[in-house]
């Protein structure tokens, strides 16, 4: 059973930029194996959450965070990544969402 209704396009129709990434992939995030390898490396190098360490706490880092978010032009290289615990990552993401909504980008 088809999951999507067929899209009818006029004869001769072509996508404007067939080489462009689809909008949900329009960032510079590494995907697939390359992305998984990078995540594993960051978590191995930073077993403790950076934000918690700054506050004198000790929590295992379980998530890899982009220090400058990809959506703000941050790169997907090692220097822009840090290991965070789930609570810190959620808090940072919430801050970034709020800043995106109400502040300058
Ligand atoms: Zn933390």
Q: Report yes or no on 5 lying in a domain.
A: no
The answer to whether position 20 is within a domain reads: no
Q: How many domains, in total, are found in the chain?
A: 1
Centre of ligand 1 to C-alpha 72, Å, is 22
C-alpha 9 to ligand 1 mean position (Å): 50
The alpha carbon of 53 and the centre of ligand 1 are apart by a number of angstroms equal to: 7
Inter-residue contact 96 to 104 (CB < 8 Å): no
Structural domain contains residue 39: yes
Convert the pLDDT of each residue in 52-89 to its tens digit. Answer: 999 999 999 999 999 999 888 889 999 999 999 999 99
Q: What is the pLDDT of residue 2?
A: 77
Q: How would residue 31 be classed by pLDDT, with cut points 50, 70 and 90?
A: confident
The rounded distance, in Å, linking the Cα atoms of 90 and 88 is 5
pLDDT for 40 equals 95
> Is residue 73 situated within a structural domain?
yes
Q: How far is the centre of ligand 1, averaged over its atoms, from the C-alpha of 84 (Å)?
A: 5
- Domain, as residue range, for 74: 29-102
How far, in Å, is the centroid of ligand 1 from the Cα of 55? 9
């Amino acid at each position: 059973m088809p999951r999507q209704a067929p899209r009818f396009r006029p004869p001769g129709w072509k996508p404007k930029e067939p080489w462009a990434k689809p909008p949900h992939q329009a960032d510079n995030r590494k995907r697939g194996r390359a992305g998984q390898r990078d995540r594993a490396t960051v978590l191995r190098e930073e077993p403790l959450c950076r934000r918690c360490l700054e506050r004198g706490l000790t929590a295992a880092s379980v998530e890899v965070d982009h220090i400058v978010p990809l959506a703000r032009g941050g790169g997907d290289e090692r220097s822009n990544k840090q290991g965070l615990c789930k609570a810190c990552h959620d808090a940072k993401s919430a801050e970034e969402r709020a800043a995106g909504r109400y502040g300058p980008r």
